[in-house]
Amino acid sequence: MNKRAFHIYNILVLLVLLCFNLLVLFAFGIGEGGIDVAAMVALVFSFLLWGVFYFIQFVRNEKVWRIAWFCIMVVVLYLWETGYGAWVGRVIF
């Protein structure tokens, strides 16, 4: 994975994450309950996770390192966005 592809793939993941989180915020906005702190923590922490994984990939220049951590990032963010993040937010608050 060269540097250009590395940045393109990560930006695409960020855009998908942004679209999904904006959709979630819109759903909270039209709902009766509104958004609570636990949901906001889950949304904000998903971007922090993306940033940490991006930095981990950026630190090393080896192709295998970047591909492995990119795959781990996609799996972790998928699990986070499909319910684990909300569970962690409810446990904390």
Give, in degrees to the nearest 5, the angle at Cα 83 between 82 and 89. Answer: 135
Structure confidence by residue, pLDDT tens digits, 4-47: 888 899 999 999 999 988 998 888 888 777 777 777 888 888 89
pLDDT at 16: 93
Model pTM score:
0.82
- What are the C-alpha distances in Å from 8 to residues 4, 12, 14, 46, 57? 6, 6, 10, 19, 13
pLDDT at 89: 65
Domain range summary for the chain, segments of one domain joined by +: 3-92
pLDDT average, residue stretch 87-93: 70
Instruction: Report the candidate in 54, 53, 57, 44 with the shortest Cα–Cα distance to residue 18.
Output: 44
**CA 47 from chain center: how many Å?**
5
* Interatomic CA distance for residues 71 and 75, integer angstroms: 6
Structure confidence by residue, pLDDT tens digits, 47-89: 999 999 999 998 988 889 999 999 999 998 888 888 776 677 6
